[in-house]
A and B are shown apart, each in its own frame.
Chain A
Amino acid sequence: MSISPPPPGWFKAPTGGERTWVGIALLWCLLMFLMMPYWHFRGKQNSTGEAYRVAPADFAARVERFVESNKVAEDPQSKKPIVEPAPGGDAYLQARMWDWYPVLRLKKGQEYRLHISSLDLQHGFSLQPMNMNFQVLPGYDHVLTITPTRTGDYRVVCNEFCGIGHHTMVGKIEVRD
């Protein structure tokens, strides 16, 4: 019984179906254990976790320099600058209550180093409708090496609670040929 002390000699190896099940379960766990690192390298879909410490004010200054030197237009809806980074170069996206700044225009098939950080609270970078999600922390420059593979306008939704205006925090990334 589970509710009384076990009889003497209870400590013994499993037998029969139980032994088989433990074996299958263990094999399955080992398979999963191998799959995750394997697909990290084979699938090349994951961030390596590249990140640097950065003071929010310094990051804001870098974003401003990036916008000034790469601005190509102004988004008619949000009045935010549309910025086109050099292919293969650095792109910056700044999160703060409650907007993403600036609007990025990227070229399909080109690789970018996308720097994301927050000036105030934690935010969530959620690229829709791709559904790709990253955590954005103040004090950390999160560098994602990305290559857009499909053209179109993508929305950047905030999916980490950041105060009363959280649900209004929507940005944009344009991917062009």
Chain B
Amino acid sequence: MSSVGNFLPNQSRTCDTTGLPVCLTAQFFIKAHAVCAVVFLLVGAIGAILLALTRWPAVQLLGPTWYYRTVTLHGINMLIFWILFFEVAVLYFCCTSLLNSRLFSRGVAWLGFVLMVVGALMTDVAIFQGRSDVMMTSYVPLKASPWFYLGLILVAVGTLIGVVNYFLTLYIAKRDGTYDGSLPLVVFGATAAAIIAVVAILHGAVALIPTWAWSMGWLSEPPDAAWYRLIWWGLGHVSQQVNVCAMVSVWYFLATLTTGAKPLNQAVCRTAFVFYVLFINLASAHHLLVDPGVGATWKIWNTSYAMYLAVLASMIHGFTVPASVESAMRAKGYTKGLFGWLFACPWKNPGFSAFFLSLVIFGFMGGITGVTLGTQQINIIAHNTLRIPGHFHATVVGGTTLAFMGLTYYVVPLIFRREYYARPLARIQPYLFGSGIAIMALAMSFAGSYGVPRRVWDADAGANLSAGANLMLAGVGLGGTLAFIGLLTFILLTVAAVFFGKKNEGRPMTAW
């Protein structure tokens, strides 16, 4: 870069592999958030395998109390803690290394981090104490322990503080002229994620603060059930769009690192990110498609008009991301036939395979099921059935989590500066995890179309499940087990590398 960074003396280093500058304060907080993310991923993963083995009718491992408790634990730890901690790490990386800037404030970063950790522990303890079996959605008038809500509020505030630190870093980078021209695409996408995160967190505050006050006994009545659902999904759905934005940014990032990809037209990619920011909040209306309290016109307007512009954004990225890889590969000379470039891609590099599998699983399975479920006509046969988790395990797990795993295969060597052991195992890990999740998500979707409800301990209690439904639930158990093995492999490899991996300071990382 021609511009000069704004780092204080001895507060930065140059990456030995990529040549990117690394702010040491940001590096510390990237490490801290990433470590916490993986710890909560492990907690959620233990929940995941217990749930998969309970929904498998032939096994039904847990009793009802611990089943419902574990659904709550799994949802909160995976969808909130693992993903938010990782996303703050991604934000801190993007606004420093990619902008040639220092992090705005160490103190603000500490404050956000401590609030997030305290809040997450508080909520997890409240769940384990057994007075918060309310699912992740905590629909009122179901009541949890006040610590459950307070913990979530603290995590949200901590995240918001991290996001503010991100925006202020963008500000000082611009002010100090640490880069020329416009933000890099990956930072632009991360900024879209940060903006949507603010919207999501504000909705969360509006929904959860009165609920918390009610659980404390300060309010005699719980919030109205329909109102709560409307506002809560402003958190619940919008935060998934944070994940989408962060994931797409990570796709662009990994595509660049692994194949030297170059987007054909950045205006198109950036417009798609703007569509996410503008339209996705309305799309959260699709959670209320079979609710009383909001009319059909409201439902149709909010789920069709606006959601399809957000869908358009995803369809654009579904083209531009692989196109950027294709053009890079063709430029390297892999021009044979229509798909010669694809076969020549670095499929042994877990950073690439995780990214590409994430793209395929998110786009084809997650995207198509999502658009389908979000129509008024189909929602009526899908609402609260296993088709819903079938959809979002394809988006958030097969998509976001797998992309974040792929990124981790670079975060550890580049930020922790440690090498992975058992590299052949790391090479197959994305395939293991991706195929497990794909099998499980498909099985869930089919079980749901047989009418099997989500979040139910014994689907057979009154439903007299068909043979097909039973078969699909077995598929949930098997796919879930396979995914769990893939996830555990990821965690063990990463923990081993972070704590015991060979140091690679002063030389480029071993290429995957």
- Check A45/B256 contact, CB under 8 A, given A14-B265, A159-B453, A167-B457: no
**Which B residues touch A12, using CB under 8 A?**
265, 267
B182 & A49 in contact (Cβ 8 Å cutoff) = no
Q: Which B residue sits closest to A137, measured CB to CB?
A: B225
Given A15-B265, A33-B308, also A2-B316 (CB < 8 A):
no
- Assess whether B377 is in contact with A142, with CB atoms less than 8 Å apart: no
- Of all chain B residues, the one with the shortest Cβ separation from A43 is B377
Do residues B182 and A141 form an inter-chain contact, with CB atoms below 8 A?
no
Cα distance A57–B208 in the bound complex, in angstroms: 27
* Contact (Cβ within 8 A) B291 A135: yes
Interface residues on A, range: 35 or more
In the assembled complex, A175 has its CB within 8 A of some CB on chain B: no
- Is there an interface contact between A46 and B267, defined as CB atoms closer than 8 Å? no
B interface bracket (residues with beta carbon within 8 Å of A): 35 or more
B382 interfacial by beta-carbon distance below 8 Å: yes
Q: Residues of A contacting B319 with CB < 8 Å?
A: 18, 21-22, 25
Contact of A76 with B by CB under 8 A: no
Is A2 a contact partner of B292 (Cβ separation < 8 A)? no
Q: How far is the CB of A163 from chain B (nearest CB, A)?
A: 7
Q: Pick from A45, A124, A139, A168: contact of B453, CB below 8 A.
A: A124
The 0/1 profile, CB within 8 Å of B marked 1, for residues 94-130 of chain A is: 0000000000000000000000000011101010111
Q: Is A3 an interface residue (CB 8 A)?
A: yes
B384 within 8 Å of A by Cβ? yes
A89 within 8 A of B: no
How far does the Cβ of B364 sit from chain A's closest Cβ, in whole Å?
15
Q: Does B179 count as interface, using CB distance less than 8 angstroms?
A: yes
Q: By the criterion CB–CB under 8 Å, are B184 and A18 in contact?
A: no
User: Would you list 23 pairs from A and B whose C-beta atoms are within 8 A, ordered by A residue?
Assistant: A1-B260, A4-B1, A5-B179, A6-B266, A10-B265, A14-B264, A15-B265, A21-B319, A39-B377, A120-B141, A124-B383, A126-B451, A133-B380, A135-B383, A137-B291, A141-B292, A157-B453, A160-B384, A161-B68, A164-B133, A167-B64, A168-B461, A170-B462
Query: A26-B312, A124-B384, A138-B141 given. 17 additional CB < 8 A pairs?
Result: A1-B256, A2-B252, A3-B20, A18-B323, A21-B319, A29-B308, A36-B303, A129-B466, A130-B451, A133-B382, A135-B383, A137-B229, A157-B462, A159-B456, A160-B139, A161-B135, A166-B68
Chain A interface residues (CB < 8 Å from chain B): 1-8, 10-15, 17-18, 21-22, 25-26, 28-30, 32-33, 35-37, 39-40, 43, 45-49, 51, 120-122, 124, 126, 128-142, 155, 157-164, 166-170
Residues of B within 8 A of A (CB): 1, 20, 64-65, 68, 71, 98, 133-135, 139-142, 179-186, 224-226, 229, 252-253, 255-256, 260-268, 288, 290-296, 298-300, 303-305, 308-309, 311-312, 315-316, 319-320, 323-324, 371, 375-377, 380-385, 449-451, 453-459, 461-464, 466
